Amino acid sequence: MAGETITLKTEDGDFNAYVARPSKAKAPAIVVIQEIFGVNAVMREIADGLADQGYLAICPDLFWRIEPGIDITDQSEAEWKKAFELFNAFDADLGVKDIAAVIDHIRADRGCSGKVGAVGYCLGGLLAYLTATNTDADASVSYYGVGIENRLGEAEKLERPLMLHIAEEDQFVPKEAQAIILQALKNHPQVTVHTYPGRDHAFARHGGEHYDADAARHANGRSLAFFQQHLL
């Protein structure tokens, strides 16, 4: 089933989200949190895949405050330049506020069972961590989140399950940052961390330069099992 674009109305303004619905009438929802390339084909493919797995997936346009409707790829230098401009202009705390609005919206959807999870990649990986610490999402998964080491003080607010996928050779998350994250979170009762030796940032981005099919399959399998445990 093809996805649809919906508009969410908030006190700060209106923004769009891509929604992919499963075949069943009621299902848990998962908020798919974008990379720095906007709600692009990769993100829509992830949402569609989650719908195929029986989840109500929603991918919000979190760059709407800067420039609505960003849909670019990782295939050209100009697009990378644009993506980093957006990343540098982005306010993560406002992003989390928008994600909280998305969670409320989708939880009230006729097709939602009431449970809502979140999964994010890259910038979205940081936002998935912040979603776990700052919203009432039932379970969150972070893939190679950039900048988590700067927000570890918020882990004390973590009351619901969080899974982290860390690429050990991540060019955007240095070894020192990884060590800080692991040290801070390794004994947290709500946190599960998986590391991937030899893998670089975005190893699960289908079609990306550092895509690794085995590591992606491994991480995605772990994520699905995690969501089955906590959302179904």
Q: State residue 119's pLDDT score.
A: 98
Q: How confident is the model at residue 1 (pLDDT cuts 50, 70, 90)?
A: low
Angle between helices 92-107 and 123-134 (to 10 degrees): 60
pLDDT at 2 > cutoff 80:
no
Q: How confident is the model at residue 128 (pLDDT cuts 50, 70, 90)?
A: very high
Mean pLDDT of 200-207: 96
pLDDT at 166 > cutoff 90:
yes
Paired strand residues for 170: none
- Distance between CA atoms of residues 17 and 40, nearest Å: 11
Indicate which residues carry an active-site annotation. Answer: 170, 201
Q: Which long-range contacts (CB under 8 A, 24 or more apart) does 203-207 make?
A: 203/144, 203/167, 204/121, 204/143, 204/165, 205/35, 205/42, 205/74, 205/121, 206/42, 206/45, 207/42
| CATH number given to 4-231 | 3.40.50.1820
Mean pLDDT of 118-146: 98
Mean pLDDT of 8-30: 96
Mean pLDDT of 145-160: 96
Mean pLDDT of 181-192: 95
Digit-coded pLDDT (tens) for 204-227: 999 999 999 999 999 999 999 999
Q: How confident is the model at residue 171 (pLDDT cuts 50, 70, 90)?
A: very high
Q: State residue 191's pLDDT score.
A: 97
Q: State residue 158's pLDDT score.
A: 95
Mean pLDDT of 38-56: 97
Mean pLDDT of 131-141: 98
Digit-coded pLDDT (tens) for 53-83: 999 999 999 999 999 999 999 999 999 999 9
